[in-house]
Amino acid sequence: MMGKLASIESTISNIPKAELHVHLAGTLEPSLMFEIAERNKIKLKYATVEELKSKYRFENLPDFLEILYEGAAVLVREEDFYDVAYAYLEKAHSQNVLRAEIFFAPQSFMRRGTDFQVIINGIHWALVDAERELGISAALIMCLLRDLSLESAMEALEKAVTYKEWIIGVGLGSAELNNPPSKFQAAFDQARGEGFKVVAHAGEEGPAEYVRQAIELLKVSRIDHGIHSLDDDTLVQTLVEKRIPLTVCPLSNVQLQVVDTIEDHPLKRMMDRGILVTVNSDDPAYFGGYINENYLAVHEALNLTREDIYRLAKNSFEAAFISETQREEMLSRLDEHINRET
């Protein structure tokens, strides 16, 4: 039993994979937060890293977002955004992530007076350097904040158009309840018209109907979270037939009490229904684990097999916004790895 578990732990650790749902601000580790705060002469509410970490217990999504935005307030200069992005990419590379598609939410910084150019420059050059130095492929998805106005979203979108070559897609995040996808249909119409890929958080706290709206009104290529999709059999059929991927974040769902325990997580049921589902970390600095820890948690709780792990990794490359040449190369590396292990 122990030998088998150790073997699958090794598979999870070493298997090539993509991460498609991770928020840059959610990768800000407490130690780096304190370091940047000191550099920028910003006084945090908490005296120590340990005191700050003790606050990482959340009742719901809005409860978490309050802490998240509080921590992200230390990011004000290009080098701050660079340091956070590069630190995440180093961690992802160490966990054998070949491709990372990273959310950033400029509205949360712009409303405090930080210029869009400062944000995008810092993150972009971290991605460039990480690809050159580590070999990890990465791209940016600008995440619109759904608890702000459509006008605010359109303003951010206007800024993003200038940096089209640096931003691969547009997403929709933040507090879901009472902020349906339909609220942002005009912004997504414009984003698609500008050539951006579009994705949306839906069906996390919100109902299956929000997933349906994201597909039918926003015309998204991927759904982020989407765990309430299983509440609607017709929606499940649509997801399967159209091969619309779900970027699921198991530890996040437990930490935010969207599911009671990891054993209750619907990931395996989604796989059994034929949904193209992927595993991701969401906000790993706050939720107790990066991508490998998420894979390991669902393996242990849901009795995932080596074949299940392989399928999840394969799904991550199938769902990624990469060229067919890149996809074939990454899938080939995945197959080579599996063949070496078996």
Map out the domains of the chain as residue ranges.
2-337
Q: What's the pLDDT score for residue 340?
A: 86
Whole-angstrom distance, CA of residue 258 vs CA of residue 265: 9
Closest CA to 142 of 288, 234, 24: 24
Catalytic positions: 204
Cβ(285)–Cβ(30) below 8 Å: yes
Name the β-bridge partners of 199.
Answer: 222
- Tokens (6 digits) for 6: 């150790």
Cβ(338)–Cβ(47) below 8 Å: no
C-alpha dihedral (58, 63, 67, 69), degrees to nearest 10: 140
Whole-angstrom distance, CA of residue 137 vs CA of residue 233: 36
Q: 234 CB contacts (<8 Å, ≥6 apart)?
A: none
Measuring CA to CA, how many Å separate 59 from each of 66, 254, 257, 266?
12, 10, 7, 20
Q: What's the pLDDT score for residue 258?
A: 95
Q: What's the pLDDT score for residue 288?
A: 92
Measuring CA to CA, how many Å separate 25 from each of 68, 90, 133, 166, 279?
7, 15, 22, 18, 19
HSE-up (13 A, CA, CB side) for residue 56: 21
Q: What's the pLDDT score for residue 60?
A: 87
Whole-angstrom distance, CA of residue 331 vs CA of residue 17: 9
Cβ(199)–Cβ(221) below 8 Å: yes
Cβ(111)–Cβ(149) below 8 Å: no
Q: What's the pLDDT score for residue 3?
A: 39
Whole-angstrom distance, CA of residue 283 vs CA of residue 268: 22
pLDDT in tens, the chain (342 residues): 333 444 889 999 999 999 999 999 999 999 999 999 999 999 998 899 999 999 898 988 888 988 998 899 999 999 999 999 999 999 999 999 999 999 999 999 999 999 999 999 999 999 999 999 999 999 999 999 999 999 999 999 999 999 999 999 999 999 999 999 999 999 999 999 999 999 999 999 999 999 999 999 999 999 999 999 999 999 999 999 999 999 999 999 999 999 999 999 999 999 999 999 999 999 999 999 999 999 999 999 999 999 999 999 999 999 999 999 999 999 999 999 988 887
Question: Per this entry, what is the length of the chain?
Answer: 342
Maximum pairwise Cα distance, the chain: 56
Cβ(176)–Cβ(204) below 8 Å: yes
Tokens 């899938």 locate to 331
Q: What's the pLDDT score for residue 6?
A: 45
Whole-angstrom distance, CA of residue 327 vs CA of residue 314: 10
Closest CA to 319 of 211, 246, 256, 254: 246
Closest CA to 65 of 122, 13, 107, 124: 107
User: Alpha helices of the chain — where are they, by DSSP H?
Assistant: 2-14, 30-39, 49-53, 61-72, 78-94, 106-110, 116-134, 150-161, 185-193, 208-216, 233-242, 250-255, 267-272, 284-287, 291-302, 306-319, 324-341
Fold of 2-337: TIM Barrel (3.20.20)
